[in-house]
Amino acid sequence: MVHLPEIVVSIIINNLTTNHDRNSASLVNKLWYTVDRYSRHTVYISNCYAISPITAINRFPNLRSLTLKVKHGITYPRIDSDDRVGSFDPWMEILSNSCQLLEQIRLKRMKVSDQNLGSIAIRFQNFKSLILSSCFGFTISGLSAIASNCSKLEQFEVEGCDVTDNTGRWLNSFPENFNSLISLNISCIKGVMNAADLVRLVARCSNLRTLSLSKSVSVNTVTKILIKSPQIVHLGIGSTIHNLGLDVLLPYSLLSLALIKCQLIQSLTFFYPIPTKILHVMYRICPNLVYVNMRFCTVTQGKEQVNFIKKCTNLRHLSVRGCIGDEGVEIVSNSCKHLEEFRVYRETTGNGVTEVGLNAISTGCKKLKFLTYFCSRMTNAALMTFANKLPNATCFKLIMSTPNEPDHTTLQPFDHGYGAIVQSCKELKKLTLSGLLTNNVFIYIGMYGERLQVVTVLNGGESDEGLEYVYNGCKNLRKMEISKYSNLHDELLSNIIYEY
C-alpha cells in the first residue's frame, strides 16, 4: 500500500465536508487517524450516554464546537428523573481543563446548571455560540452570566426551556458596547421583558439576521425592532395581542408599514397563539418566504393558516399542524410548487389528515424530498402513489395515530406500500414506519434500503427475524428505533454507531 505524505492526508481530510466521511477516513491507518484527531474542530454526539467526556475530549483535543444530546424517543424514552438525566457537569469539568479554545456549545435535553453557564462565560475567552434546546436546571442568572461576560457572542439561542425573568431587566446584562449578535432566540423566556432594552440591543447588532421573540413582546415593540433592523432574515414571533392601547388597529397598521422595508425576511416562525390580524399583516412578505413554521399556532383556525400559506408561493420548507385537514394539504400542493420539506404534526382536537392529503402532496409537489406526516388513517395505494411520484425523496416519516392500524380500505398490512417506497426512492436515508406490519416489509427494506441510515418502527412486526433482514441488508444503517420486540439479540445492533 502506498503511504501518502502527512501534508497530503491533511488536505484530503480537511476537505471532507461531513463528520461521517471523516470517521471513515480515520480508519485508513494510524496516520489518517492522527491527522483527523488533531484537525477536527467540530464534534457531534447524538447520544451523550454512548461515550464518556474524557474519551471524547482525548480523541479530539483541539475541539472548537461541541454538540451534545440526550437521546430519547422510541428506544430511549424521555428521562425525567434528575439522577438519571444527562447532566452537563462531567462534560463541563473536562472542557474547562482541556478545551480552552472552545467557541460553540449546543445542548439538547441536557441538565444544565447556572454554575455550568457561569463557567462557560469565564473559562472560554473566544466563546461565540450557546444553543440550548429543551434543556433544564438553569435560571435567568445563568443566562445573564453569559450575556455579561461573552463579549464575542454571535449566537444566543434558548428554545423549549423553562426560564422566567421576574425582574424584566436581564437584557441589561449585555454591555452597552456589545454588538456582535448574529442570532438571538429568546422565544421561551417567560415574564415581562423590558421593551426598551430589547430594542436597544437589537439596534446595536447590525449583523443580526435571526431573531425569535417571546410572547411577552408586543406588536409595538416588534414594529420598533423591524424599523431599526431591516436586515432581519429569520423572524420568530409569539402572541402579541396585548398592549395595543385604545386603537387596536393602529399597531397592526404601523407593523405593516415597517414590513415594507423588511424585504430580506425569508423565514417566519410563529410561537404560541397568533392573532388573525398578525397573519393578515404578514401577507406583505409572503412572496419572499421560503421557510414557514406554523406548528405552534394552536389557536389560529386552520382556515386562516391555509389562507396565509396560499400566498407563500415560493415556500421550500413548511411545518403545520393537522388542523389544516386534507383540504388544507391539497391547497398546499396547488400553491407551493417549490416545496422540498413538508411536516404535518399531530392534531389532538380533530381527525387531522389522511391518505387524501398524502395523495395530494405527492402529486402536486414534484420537488418534495422530506416528509413528516402524522395522520389518522392511511392506505397502501397512497404510499405507492408517493413512491411513484417522488422517487427522489430522502426522508419519509409516517406516524399513524394507531400504530398497528391496517390499510382501512383493504384491512391488509402496509408491507407493499412501504416496500414500494424503499424500492422506488433510491436516495432514501430516513424511514419511519407505522401501521400494521409483517416480516415482509423488513425483507423489502433489507433488499432495497441500501442508503438507509435511520429506521424507526412504531410497530415492531411479527418477530425478530424481520429485523435481521434490515441489519443484514442496510449496510449504511447508523440508528434503528423499535417500539416493541421480544428477544432481539444485543449483537444485532452492535454495529450501529453513534456520530462524532
pLDDT band, very low/low/confident/very high, at 249 (cuts 50, 70, 90): low
Residue 500 has pLDDT above 60, yes or no: no
User: What CA–CA distances, in Å, run from 398 to 136, 162, 209, 250, 317?
Assistant: 30, 30, 34, 44, 18
Q: Give the CATH superfamily of 384-500.
A: Ribonuclease Inhibitor (3.80.10.10)
**What are the residue ranges of CATH 1.20.1280.50 in the chain?**
1-40
**In which residue are the cell numbers 397568533 written?**
274
**What are the residue ranges of CATH 3.80.10.10 in the chain?**
384-500
Residue 494 has pLDDT above 50, yes or no: no
Looking at 2.60.40.10, 3.40.50.10490, 3.40.50.1970, 1.20.1280.50, the CATH number of the domain 1-40 comes to 1.20.1280.50
**pLDDT tens digits, one per residue of 21-75:** 888 888 888 888 888 888 889 999 888 888 899 999 999 999 999 999 986 654 4
DSSP string, 432-489: EE-SS--HHHHHHHHHH-TT--EEEESS--S-HHHHHHHHHH-TT--EEEES--SS--
Going by C-alpha positions, the residue among 464, 476, 466 that lies closest to residue 418 is 466
What pLDDT shows up at residue 479?
82
Quote the CA–CA distance of 435 and 59 in Å, as a whole number. Answer: 42
- Residues pairing with 158 in the sheet: 132
Residue 1 has pLDDT above 60, yes or no: no
For strands 129-133 and 104-108, give the pairing. Answer: parallel
DSSP string, 149-168: H-TT--EEEEES--EE-SSS
**pLDDT tens digits, one per residue of 143-193:** 999 999 999 999 999 999 999 998 888 999 999 999 999 999 999 999 888
**pLDDT tens digits, one per residue of 353-401:** 999 999 999 999 999 999 999 999 999 999 999 999 999 999 999 999 8
Question: How deeply is 211 buried, as exposed, middle or buried, from its count of CB atoms within 10 A (0-12, 13-18, 19+)?
Answer: buried
What pLDDT shows up at residue 492?
41
Termini Cα distance of the chain:
28
Helix locations, 325-463, DSSP H: 325-335, 355-364, 380-389, 415-424, 439-448
**In which residue are the cell numbers 445492533 written?**
493
